[in-house]
Amino acid sequence: MNPFLNPITGLPFLKNFLFDTGRIKRLSPEEMDRHRNNSLRKIVKYAYTVPLYYKKYREANIHPDDIKKISDIEKLPFVTRKDISDFYPDGIVPKGYNKKKAQLLNTSGSTGKPISFFTDFKTMAESVPITIRGMQMYKLNWRKSRFAYLLNYGTNSLYNVHSISKNVIHSNVNSIIPLKNHQYFNILAPLKNIIKQLDEFKPDFIVSNPDTYYHLAFLKNKGYGKNINPKTLATGGSTLDSKTRKYVEDAFGCNMHELYGSVESSSVISIECFKGCWHIQHDYYHIEAVDENGLSVEPNKKGKIVLTRLFGKGTPFIRYTGLDDTILLSSDYKCGCGLNSPFFKGGIEGRPSLHNIILKDGRLIPAPLLSFVPIILDELKTRKVKQYQIIQKNIDEIDILIEIDENLGNIGPSNYMIFDKIEEAYKNIVGPDVKLSIKEVKKIKTPKDKPFSNVISYVKPEDVY
């Protein structure tokens, strides 16, 4: 049954859609504080039923009754990527949680250290108003404007947040209210085919990753896509440098705005407005900035981000340190766009510049679509791969570096079995003409002066098109 037609799931969604979209503007500061305090109490009470959180809270001598308001959150211990990985699968959801009806997600492993966790329809549906807010911020109408999504809807869609959201949310809404103005494009098609389809669709708004935009801009400057004249471009998932931003904005003749979110957050944590402020959706999330000792830093000082998702079921994320990005929280809430909410000052630091793999036939394989390693590890029920990195040396040669956890060397499937599975998965996507080499290394080099990226390509657009 379509979950939107089921009163048990459909009515709460309708309520969220009607009332939560405008909540961030409608509520006074005092009302917002009450809402956030109530949301935190609920999510901490839920987390106490999850073995991972129950263990941590008991060890810290904390009970849900001790958490009454947002300022109490510092009493709670941090949760790391390793915690999520160590307690997966049964320890990251409440006892008795029906995992068969849930959705299993993997982070893309852009840092080379992926995790798996669970989400569900309620969590995804509850975050829809954030998407509508972004459309409204960019003066777009979700029923009338033309939206083009060039995201990861690829072969590993079983664990992919974009594919799951499309199938669970959009497809079910579309069966009730046709949304022909929202089009999803197969990012695995040759880029010239994609730009031709975009030219026919004539989108007002496009969402994709920075590297894909760069290639589209390259083709547009070569005379392709003359009817592609969007009002706004949105991007996220990796670092957008000033050179790429200017190149893309000049090619498409409109502004480009960044969205900051993660698979763990279930939606967009912050949205960059026309004034350049990265507004935090603080009725949905509580964001902290901490130093290397885990102590809160003052406003207007840089620190590592700590995420608390104030909604949803499945695997909760409370005081989660796994995003590993550097932020600067502004002490001033006022913005010329009219939205007075906390925001990130100067954007986000620490996100890697994710490259795409480019193939001879003009296909562009985005970095998140290349995250087969965590899926294979999940299928083989092992966590032996500590880190991995994909390096495209030239148009027809790719190396995949694998770092094995020595503590798990003799546990579970053999390294050869893991390597064979990895090679098979990547061969299926890059094809037989690409020389693919799986190489075990003792340590994958991590750069000191910039974030680690698990996909690196030395191939440029002019080498292909």
Examine residue 1 and state whether it is found in any structural domain, yes or no.
no
The whole-number pLDDT of residue 156 equals 47
Examine residue 185 and state whether it is found in any structural domain, yes or no.
yes
Residue (of 386, 400, 406) closest to 439 by Cα position: 400
Q: What percent of the chain has pLDDT over 90?
A: 50
CATH of the domain at 41: 3.40.50.12780
- Same domain flag for 363 and 270: no
Last residue of some domain: 286, 312, 344? 344
**Which region among 2-6, 37-41, 183-187, 400-404 has the lowest average model confidence (pLDDT)?**
2-6
Give the separation between CA 200 and CA 198, rounded to whole angstroms.
Answer: 5
Q: How does residue 211 score in pLDDT terms, banded at 50, 70 and 90?
A: confident
Q: How does residue 408 score in pLDDT terms, banded at 50, 70 and 90?
A: confident
Last residue of some domain: 322, 344, 366? 344
The whole-number pLDDT of residue 353 equals 65
Examine residue 166 and state whether it is found in any structural domain, yes or no.
yes
Examine residue 351 and state whether it is found in any structural domain, yes or no.
no
Last residue of some domain: 292, 320, 344? 344
Q: How does residue 270 score in pLDDT terms, banded at 50, 70 and 90?
A: very high
Per-residue model confidence as pLDDT tens digits over 32-86? 999 999 999 999 999 999 999 999 999 999 999 999 999 999 999 999 999 999 9
Per-residue model confidence as pLDDT tens digits over 319-378? 999 998 899 998 777 788 878 788 998 888 766 666 788 888 888 887 766 777 877 887
The whole-number pLDDT of residue 409 equals 72
pLDDT at 223 over 80: yes
- Same domain flag for 273 and 375: no
pLDDT at 207 over 70: yes
The whole-number pLDDT of residue 339 equals 81
Examine residue 376 and state whether it is found in any structural domain, yes or no.
yes
Give the separation between CA 60 and CA 298, rounded to whole angstroms.
Answer: 25
Phi-psi region of 251 (alpha: psi -120 to 50; beta: other; left: phi over 0): alpha
The whole-number pLDDT of residue 321 equals 96
CATH of the domain at 394: 3.30.300
Give the separation between CA 180 and CA 163, rounded to whole angstroms.
Answer: 18
Examine residue 57 and state whether it is found in any structural domain, yes or no.
yes
The whole-number pLDDT of residue 264 equals 93
The whole-number pLDDT of residue 146 equals 96
pLDDT at 164 over 60: yes
The whole-number pLDDT of residue 116 equals 87
- Same domain flag for 422 and 327: no
Total domains, the chain: 2
Structure tokens at 53: 């959180």
Residue 401's H or E segment, with its range, is: strand 397-404
The mean pLDDT of 409-431, rounded to a whole number, is: 88
Per-residue model confidence as pLDDT tens digits over 283-323? 999 999 999 899 999 888 899 999 999 999 999 999 999 99
Bond prior to 89 in cis (omega within 30° of 0):
yes
- Same domain flag for 41 and 133: yes
- Same domain flag for 315 and 459: no
- Same domain flag for 315 and 361: no
Q: How does residue 107 score in pLDDT terms, banded at 50, 70 and 90?
A: confident
Residues of the domain holding 450: 357-463
Examine residue 236 and state whether it is found in any structural domain, yes or no.
yes
The mean pLDDT of 394-413, rounded to a whole number, is: 88
Residues 259/235, Cβ–Cβ less than 8 Å:
yes
- Same domain flag for 273 and 371: no
The mean pLDDT of 373-388, rounded to a whole number, is: 83
Average pLDDT, the chain: 87
- Same domain flag for 326 and 390: no
pLDDT at 282 over 90: yes
- Same domain flag for 186 and 316: yes
Examine residue 180 and state whether it is found in any structural domain, yes or no.
yes
β-bridge mates for residue 83, sequence order: none
Burial zone of 142 (CB within 10 Å; 0-12 exposed, 13-18 middle, 19+ buried): middle
Per-residue model confidence as pLDDT tens digits over 135-163? 999 999 999 999 999 876 554 444 466 66
**Which region among 33-47, 132-146, 420-434, 450-464 has the lowest average model confidence (pLDDT)?**
450-464
- Same domain flag for 284 and 387: no
- Same domain flag for 136 and 227: yes
pLDDT at 179 over 90: no
The whole-number pLDDT of residue 319 equals 98
**Cα dihedral 111/114/117/121 (nearest 10):** 60
- Same domain flag for 167 and 59: yes
Report the predicted TM-score, pTM, of the whole model to 2 decimal places: 0.82
